[in-house]
Amino acid sequence: MSFPVLESPVALVGLGISNISVRRLLEHQGVPSNKILNFDDKGSDGAISDPDELIRRGVRTLVVSPGYPLAKEWIGRQRSQGVIVTSEIDYAARFLKDERVIAITGSLGKSTTTSLIGEGLKVSGRPYFFGGNLGFPLADYVLATLKGERPRADFLALELSSFQLECSDHLPMHVSVLTFLCSNHLERYRDLEHYYEVKRIVFDRAQTRCFANAASSELHDYLKRHGLLGSPKLQEISLATQTLLSRADFDRKALVGEHNCENIAIAAAVLEECGLWAAPVKEALLKFPGLAHRMERVEVGPKAPLFINDSKATALESVLTAVNSVLADPVFLKEPTRKLVCLFGGRDKKHPWEKLSELSSKASHLDVIFFGECAETAAERSGLVGRSLSTLRLAMENVRSRAKAEDWVLLSPGGTSLDEFKNFEDRGRKFSEWARQLWSAGESR
């Protein structure tokens, strides 16, 4: 089988992890380094920042990073002149042979669901790869197979952002998943319907089955509005109708939050569809502790509160999902006097903090602390009663003085991390570190 070589010169538009991976693959395919150009309109060192310069260089292929809008006028102009426009996912997909692709997308939950499927694949004993938007480019997998460093996988579980789906025509999809739909990325799309249309690609292209989370009302309404609910290819998964796991199974899960029962149920359905469902696979799903900074359980001590690191949550929909899911978690509900201490704040993203007002009906179960640059703004607009503090460290010290051993503490900030920290990972690490510092092992107060 012959593999594709892109027409050169090739311009890598955007210098993120995916296009770094593409460069390695191109060089392995024999494209000279001087025929691979870097483009970054933010002026990175060694990169071309003027599209007209690319045109003067006679570029024949544009490999566009997911973070760079395909709708840019100069990209459309180049395409109309016969220049090939592709992406890391699209180019790497042309090297696939018999691998069965599991494509996972959604506004929320796609990373956790992809990782759960990856855990199931790991214990199945079948060759597998999982990555995509999760941080492991498909091009890295392809290059490793071409160099004989790993066997070809039977299954590829790929998390796909809407940006990646925009340029993925060559990617086959055996099974697909729609985890959840809500408003996002409207700075890039015409409107919400346009954004949902891009997500729908995984339904349209699924060869056998598309699994959808029935708990997502926006997703259900979209599927109904477009007449897709009756499709034999579509299967909505709900906790009430799924039969692979019992309530007792879900009560044993390591993941925190009722919404993660839904993610586990979807992963189970996918693995059954792939012929891989077995007792060890089920145990792997239930024991999966979660991804760092995404509803991550923080081990502190046997008599300390349970700390949950959801530092990645910078959308209010994510915050509401996290809070409501914890309050519905059967383990949380086993202790009637238990409180959920919520840490909201950071740097404002012009959020409609008013959305958090819906939590006021659950105030008897909540203890709210606002922190960071937007603490007072978030408190005022949400209408929630809580203390406002200038930093996350001060908020943690306040938690130390008021949280009991049976309580749970949730960092699901809503705001970005850039008022105090380098990124959301840095914020999450500090949250976990301070929790361990402030609660010595074996002490709750």
Place of tokens 């024991």: 287
Q: How far is CA 340 from the centre of its chain?
A: 24
- Ordered by where they begin, the domains of the chain are 10-86 (3.40.50.720), 92-287 (3.40.1190.10), 296-438 (3.90.190.20)
Place of tokens 């699901």: 412
Give the separation between CA 78 and CA 121, rounded to whole angstroms.
Answer: 41
**pTM surpassing 0.75?**
yes
Cβ count near 240 (within 10 Å)? 6
DSSP 3-state assignment of 94?
Answer: coil
293 CB contacts (<8 Å, ≥6 apart)?
309, 310, 311, 312, 424, 425, 427, 428
Give the separation between CA 268 and CA 272, rounded to whole angstroms.
Answer: 6
Residue 155 contacts residue 121 (beta carbons within 8 Å): yes
Of the candidates 47, 90, 87, 56, the residue with the CA atom closest to the CA atom of residue 74: 56
Give the separation between CA 301 and CA 442, rounded to whole angstroms.
Answer: 6
Q: pLDDT means per 10 residues in the chain (445 residues)?
A: 82 93 96 95 82 94 94 95 97 97 95 97 97 94 98 98 96 97 85 96 98 96 96 97 95 92 97 98 96 91 92 92 94 93 94 95 96 97 97 97 95 96 97 92 44
Residues in the chain, overall count? 445
Give the separation between CA 370 and CA 47, rounded to whole angstroms.
Answer: 42
pLDDT of amino acid 444: 43
Q: Give 177's strand partners.
A: 104, 211
DSSP letter (8 states) at residue 152 = P
- What tokens does 85 get? 């426009």
Cβ count near 392 (within 10 Å)? 25
- pLDDT tens digit sequence for 198-239: 999 999 999 999 999 999 999 999 999 999 999 999 999 999
